[in-house]
Chains A and B, each alone.
Chain A
């Protein structure tokens, strides 16, 4: 990846992080920590990796992205808006009555949302279904699914992991946003999923472990996933919860609390934007 492409992604993830902070502040509730930790991954997917067309959200050949950790809805909405699926101004309607931007993503409300999520553990199964359909139809689209490191405590994730390995779904890429915090505290203390990579390997997956804030590493892992045939790829992305906002980073309290106006201003300054932007 050349420097220009890297700059584009860096700028885009900055804009997405600012969108996240602003919409959560406006909504007065929601989940900043896990939205910010996955912002670079989602940016790389929508602005480098995936074959999508905002003008044709139902295009049969499109790549699919499923936000299995649905509470990080702001990062998905920000990416869709920045990509051109809907006006950026609509982000201000998040979580409000009548909005297409439901508290957790709803595919029936908003074009571009590939699966309704929010109840943890269900996204990978749906991704597998889409991947099986793609293979049946002879289409070469790929299915990306983002899971939380707390989310993989759900049993259904491992049922789905087993099935993806069994059916050799090399068109599926699961990315684990390993930000190491969940609501009740550090993931390793609440219910340790470690060693995460070994578990996916044991279920028949190719595994990449990367820095989830390094675009070169993210893209290299996604490229590698394309080369792997006969098995799905899991990317364990080491991230920082609340990444980009100093007072949110690595703070469990920012899992599900929205910033107030003052905090929002500070966060936007740190993210290189202006409060009135």
Chain B
């Protein structure tokens, strides 16, 4: 199976879209080779601005570019883009609803060896708490390419969460991403696994494994965390009466929380959350970290079984 990191798919998509749309400009904070905005910089140097190691000014400058009609993509690592520059995003971009695309890479613990200082596990929580902000976590290269295109086509601020780690391609050329629309990857009637980002692959793997035990798992790819697809969640809750969420993010405030908010107000059913359990990461190989912090297909299998147990004991 071919593999590509979502950051790489982003960089390629951006360079391609840059040729079609002259209003696209790109800003980076001294990480263009890592974030992959370097592809765009090479093709369109006059529309690429390296802002140096200064994320607050980068996001503020992006706001000004957007106010003057440009479509700025601002990139850095998720930790610094959303952490260091949170208030610039909140006050200079989201409040005036400016058309800035924050495409942040190296999200989650799969950053690996750099350790906890660089492993953003809070970014989805803080970005989705800001009014006017759209939040998207693509699952693979195919989806990333479509997300970047959709970001250019929509007007308004958006946060796109990308990863460092090369991931298997899940979706083929027939896949259709739409902002705010969940995609059912696999049908099932016992439990629904709602996943995003690099947990979509393990969710599918878990469902296939559980099929062997005659447990029918529905798998939903919830790329858009905000605005979340309420209808898809409600329908899944009604169909399977149990939900498992899976994300490479703190279980506080991420996809699991977003799904729980919908369930609590609509169809309250059993929910299990697979994610980083409110703890910082550490240095290590990405696969070792995913295993240690409970972000594998095996962890989803366990959560599914727990959900079924809780559902049946109600």
Contacts and interface: CB of A to CB of B under 8 A. Distances in A.
A166 B58 CA distance: 13
Contact of A129 (B47, B63, B96, B97): B63
Which of B56, B68, B69, B87 has its CB near the most chain A CB atoms (within 10 A)?
A: B68
B57 A160 contact: yes
Interface in B18-68: 25, 46-47, 49, 51-52, 54, 56-57, 59-68
Interface in A72-129: 106-108, 114-116, 118-119, 122, 124-129
Q: Which applies to chain B's interface (DSSP): helix, strand, loop or mixed? A: helix
A166 B57 CA distance: 13
A163 B62 CA distance: 13
A136 B46 CA distance: 8
Given A106-B96, A163-B52, A167-B49, A129 B88 contact: no
Interface in A128-167: 128-134, 136-137, 155-156, 159-160, 162-163, 166-167
A166 B30 CA distance: 14
B56 A155 contact: yes
Nearest to B65: A129
Contacts of B57: 125, 128, 156, 159-160, 162-163
Nearest to A131: B64
Nearest to B70: A133
Nearest to A118: B91
A60 interface: yes
A126 B60 contact: yes
Given A108-B96, A116-B91, A167-B49, A130 B60 contact: no
Among A122, A124, A128, max chain B CB count under 10 A is at A122
A122 B95 contact: no
Classify chain A's interface size. 20 to 34
A134 B87 CA distance: 26
A217 B239 CA distance: 74
A259 B285 CA distance: 63
B88 A122 contact: yes
A131 B70 CA distance: 12
Given A122-B60, A136-B46, A129 B66 contact: yes
B96 A115 contact: yes
B25 A159 contact: no
Contacts of A115: 63-64, 67, 92, 96
Contacts of B56: 125, 155-156, 159
Nearest to B55: A159
A167 B27 CA distance: 13
Nearest to A125: B60
Nearest to A108: B96
Nearest to A113: B96
A156 B85 CA distance: 10
A132 B61 contact: yes
Contacts of A126: 60-61, 63-64, 67, 92
Contacts of B59: 125
Given A116-B96, A122-B92, A159-B57, A129 B68 contact: yes
B67 A107 contact: yes
Given A156-B88, A160-B60, A133 B65 contact: yes
Nearest to A126: B64
Contact of B47 (A136, A155, A160, A162): A136
Given A106-B95, A159-B56, A162-B54, A114 B47 contact: no
Contacts of B72: 129
Contacts of A118: 91
Given A108-B96, A125-B56, A155-B56, A114 B67 contact: yes
Nearest to A116: B96
A160 B72 CA distance: 17
A23 B69 CA distance: 33
Contacts of A137: 68-69
Interface of A: 60, 106-108, 114-116, 118-119, 122, 124-134, 136-137, 155-156, 159-160, 162-163, 166-167
7 contacts: A108-B96, A116-B92, A119-B87, A136-B70, A137-B69, A156-B88, A160-B57
